[in-house]
Amino acid sequence: MVAKFVGSRTENNLFAAFVGESQARNRYSFAASFFASGRLKVLEKLFLFVADQEKQHAKIFYNFLSSFGSDREINIEGASYPVDVLNNSVGIFEKSQRNELVEHELYKEFGEEARYEGFSEISKKFLEISEIEKSHGERFGEFAGLLRGNELFACKSGNSCWLCLECGKIYNGCQAPQECPVCGHPFGYFLKKDLSLL
């Protein structure tokens, strides 16, 4: 089993995925810092939330790699990774959405290759994580749309409920309050209640 795994396409793909997840986690941490500097707590939290999930994906892939064979070095074949300039809010969401959807498609291929090579458990994980990346992409796309339409902190169609992420206050209005009436944190801490991060 070990000899079969070491040198397989699946080993290569797992390592490519581990590298990709590690980079995504860092990019999302950088994005979180960008939004923290603009006092947009809700967007900082969103990126840290997803960054932690990418870490978990990286761990799953790494655990597979380390469970086969001994210490070794792996050269990745046929892998490329994005360098995104993270300097504006909408662009960060759009680029993150694109990267997630690329991963979604890639992991479907990796899942198929793992199945072909006889690694059914690894195949299943690739396919499960592929679906998670799709949901990440969709969430980033939704937030990109809200930012483009200036609707992240305002509602164009009547009132909405706004949740303060700091103290839990739920505020009803056509836009998030300038500051929370309970804890005093600014509007950047508010999330439209129906936009759960979960």
The DSSP bridge pattern shows strands 190-192 and 170-173 to be: unpaired
Q: Kindly identify the residues of this chain, within the stretch 87-116, that bind Fe ion according to CB under 5 A.
A: 100
* Per CB under 5 A, 11 contacts Fe ion: no
**Burial tier of 172 (Cβ tally within 10 Å: 0-12, 13-18, 19+):** exposed
* Nearest partner of 16 among 88, 107, 93, judged by Cα: 107
Taking the complex as a whole, how short is the minimal distance between the CB of residue 21 and Fe ion, in angstroms?
5
* Nearest partner of 86 among 74, 77, 96, judged by Cα: 96
* Per CB under 5 A, 18 contacts Fe ion: no
Interacting residue with Fe ion among 25, 27, 41, 57 (CB under 5 A): 57
* Per CB under 5 A, 25 contacts Fe ion: no
Q: For the window 163-192, what string marks contact with Fe ion as x by the rule CB under 5 A?
A: ------------------------------
The DSSP bridge pattern shows strands 160-164 and 170-173 to be: antiparallel
* Per CB under 5 A, 133 contacts Fe ion: yes
- What number of chain residues touch Fe ion (CB under 5 A)? 6
Length of the chain: 198
Contact set with Fe ion (CB under 5 A): 21, 54, 57, 100, 133, 136
